[in-house]
Amino acid sequence: CPPLGLESLRVQDSQLRASSHQRYGLGAHRGRLNIQSGLYDGDLYDGGWCAGQEDTEQWLEVDAGGITNFTGVVTQGLNSIWTYNWVTTFKVQVSNDTHEWHPCRNGTAEVVFPGNKDPETPVLNLLPSPVVARYLRINPQTWFQNGTICLRAEVLGCPLPDPNNAYTWPRQPLPTDPLDFRHHNYKEMRKLMKRVNEECPNITRVYSIGRSYRGLKMYVMEISDHPGRHEVGEPEFRYVAGMHGNEVLGRELLLNLMEYLCREFRRGNPRVVQLVTQTRIHLLPSMNPDGYETAYKLGSELSGWAMGRWTYEGIDLNHNFADLNTALWDAEDNDLVPHQFPNHYIPIPEYYTLANATVAPETRAVIDWMQRVPFVLSANLHGGELVVTYPFDMTRTYWKAQELTPTPDDDVFRWLATVYATSNLAMATEERRLCHYDDFARVGNIINGANWHTVPGSMNDFSYLHTNCFEITVELSCDKFPHASELPDEWENNREALLLYMEQVHRGIKGVVRDRETEKGIANAIISVDGINHDIRTG
The set of catalytic residues is: 475
Would you give the distance in Å from CA 326 to the centre of its chain? 27
Residue 519 backbone class (left: φ over 0; alpha: ψ -120 to 50; beta: rest): left
Q: Which residues pair with 56 in a beta bridge?
A: none
Phi, psi for 215 (deg, rounded to 5): 90, 5
Q: Which residues pair with 89 in a beta bridge?
A: 114, 142
Contact 153, 74 (CB under 8 A): yes
- The residues near 236 (Cβ < 8 Å, ≥ 6 apart) are 230, 280, 282, 373, 374, 375, 376
3-state secondary structure of 379: strand
Contact 236, 373 (CB under 8 A): yes
- Helices 410-423, 487-503: axis angle to 10 degrees equals 150
Contact 449, 396 (CB under 8 A): no
Contact 451, 401 (CB under 8 A): no
Burial pattern 180-200, b for ≥16 Cβ within 10 A else e, equals bbebbebeebeebbeebbeeb
- The residues near 47 (Cβ < 8 Å, ≥ 6 apart) are 30, 35, 36, 37, 78, 79, 80, 152
Query: Which whole-number Å values give the CA distances from 264 to 29, 63, 257, in the listed order?
Result: 42, 41, 10
3-state secondary structure of 149: coil
Cis bond before residue 114 (omega within 30° of 0): no
Contact 91, 104 (CB under 8 A): yes
Phi, psi for 229 (deg, rounded to 5): -135, 130
Contact 73, 125 (CB under 8 A): yes
Amino acid at 20: S
Q: What is the DSSP string of 338-357?
A: TTTS-SSSPPPPHHHHSTTS
Q: How far apart are CA 391 and CA 379, in angstroms?
A: 12
Cis bond before residue 392 (omega within 30° of 0): yes
Amino acid at 376: V
Q: How far apart are CA 236 and CA 223, in angstroms?
A: 10
**Strands, E, within 259-340: which ranges?**
280-284
Using alpha carbons, select from 13, 8, 94, 19 the residue that is nearest to residue 58: 19
Q: What is the DSSP string of 422-448?
A: HH-HHHH-TT---SSS--GGGGTTEEE
Report strand pairing: 60-76 vs 150-159: antiparallel
Q: How far apart are CA 361 and CA 384, in angstroms?
A: 25
